[in-house]
Structure 1
Amino acid sequence: MATGNDLRRMALALEGTTEAPHFDRAAFKVARTYVTLAADGRSANFKFTPDEQEFKCMMAPDAFAPIANAWGRQGWTTATLARLGAAELKSALEMAWAHALPKKKPRR
């Protein structure tokens, strides 16, 4: 059973991650935000690709659900932290974090 403190600790351990306020949530980002943590620490919103979102929701429907708006159609996915183990949380964080890394400039 994961907690908001687990998410914060694991996210900040990922290279380049910083934490900043985001409305009533805490946002974790590198070049872009990849996860936000609810103020009560019970849920988090992850930025996945739509395919990753579909996979996570299919594999753990009790833990993951698309956000019910246009953000959800872009891959933003809500997770109930208490329904995730540490390994599942780490996997979700690493997946979302990879999308937030700075884009590499092509070599000439």
Structure 2
Amino acid sequence: MTLDGFRRMALGLPEVTEEAHMGHPDFRVRGKIFATLCAPSAEWGMVKLTPEQQDAFVDSAPAVFTPVKGGWGRGGATNVRLRAATARILRPALMTAWSNAAPRSLTAAAGPSTRRPSRSRNRQ
């Protein structure tokens, strides 16, 4: 995967804009960041997942996904090793990160493949 490939894939999701944050390109849906490029270096991207989602992606492709160091990583921020990534591996991670950041009305309009799961609530 290249920087341009990551960028095209992120910008292909509904209502995504490219902006910059702390000197790095980022991708936002309605103002919320869900992915960045070039952090910590040009060889990397980042997707903003939940810790549970991060575990699943890291387990499925450890050569591609690794938790960001420190508190951001414990919160689900996940580095993407671009050189090892393919579109087939990256697309679901970007879609998941986008879905986490997008309002429910937008994920519902975008279709079932982009909807985030409902949060279960224990009712007693």
TM-score (norm 2): 0.77
SS at match of 2:69: coil
Q: Which residue of 1 aligns with 2:92?
A: 91
User: What is the identity, as a one-letter code, of the residue corresponding to 2:37?
Assistant: L
TM-score (norm 1): 0.88
Q: Answer yes or no: is the 8 Å Cα contact 1:5–1:41 preserved in 2.
A: no
SS at match of 2:25: strand
Does structure 1 residue 35 correspond to structure 2 residue 35? Answer: yes
SS at match of 2:62: coil
Q: Distance in 1 between matches of 2:62 and 2:10?
A: 23
Q: Which residue of 1 aligns with 2:55?
A: 54
* Larger RCO (CA within 8 A; separation ≥ 6): 1
Superposed structure 1 runs of 4+ greater than 4 Å apart: none
Where structure 1 has 5 or more consecutive residues not aligned to the other structure, the ranges are none
Q: Distance in 2 between matches of 1:57 and 1:24?
A: 26
Q: Which residue of 2 aligns with 1:22?
A: 21
Q: Distance in 2 between matches of 1:9 and 1:69?
A: 29
Number of aligned residues: 103
Q: Answer yes or no: is the 8 Å Cα contact 1:20–1:27 preserved in 2.
A: yes
SS at match of 2:93: helix
Q: Answer yes or no: is the 8 Å Cα contact 1:24–1:38 preserved in 2.
A: no
Residues 44-98 of structure 1, C-alpha deviations (whole Å, 9 max, x = no match): 1110111110011111111111111111111000010111111111111111100
- Note the aligned Cα RMSD (angstroms): 1.4
Q: Distance in 2 between matches of 1:54 and 1:43?
A: 18
CA positional deviation for 1:102: 2.2
Where structure 2 has 5 or more consecutive residues not aligned to the other structure, the ranges are 106-124
Q: Distance in 2 between matches of 1:5 and 1:98?
A: 21
User: What is the identity, as a one-letter code, of the residue corresponding to 1:97?
Assistant: W
Q: Which residue of 2 aligns with 1:10?
A: 9
